[in-house]
Amino acid sequence: MKAILDYLGFVLAILVLTAISLIVFMRPGYAQASGAAQCAPLASVMAQLSDQWKEVPVGRGLAAGGCSVLMLFADPEGVTWTILVVRPDGEACLLASVTNWETVVPPLPGTEV
């Protein structure tokens, strides 16, 4: 049962972080205005994430406006994750990445924190 709760906590955390990323980072012009975007062809970025961090795709969806794809990568142990936005031209831009990931399992209803 604990393994299921840990997994559900990981999935919930990923979904929350994805939603936050969409709200914060997907405003039109954010990446260009902030100078924070690091972009390269998707195949190149995926190879680097796999080779260096052992991350694989764990989720994706249409970004704001439906013209780009948001991709979430994580390593199998959940220690690191990366969020990319893939533009229609095939360029993938780094939005966020984290190391030393920790899954926090919310307390069951009726229990004290």
Contacts of 94 (CB under 8 A, 6+ apart): 37, 38, 39, 45, 82, 83, 84
User: CA-based diameter of the chain, in Å?
Assistant: 50
The pTM of this model reads 0.61
Digitized pLDDT (tens) for each residue of the chain, 113 residues in all: 566 656 656 665 566 555 555 444 444 444 444 455 689 999 999 999 999 999 999 899 998 788 999 999 998 887 899 999 999 999 999 989 888 777 678 888 887 65
Q: Return the residue matching tokens 């439906």.
A: 66
CB of 111 closer than 8 Å to CB of 11: no
Q: What pLDDT does 105 receive? A: 81
CB of 86 closer than 8 Å to CB of 66: no
- Which two tokens mark 88? 């229609």
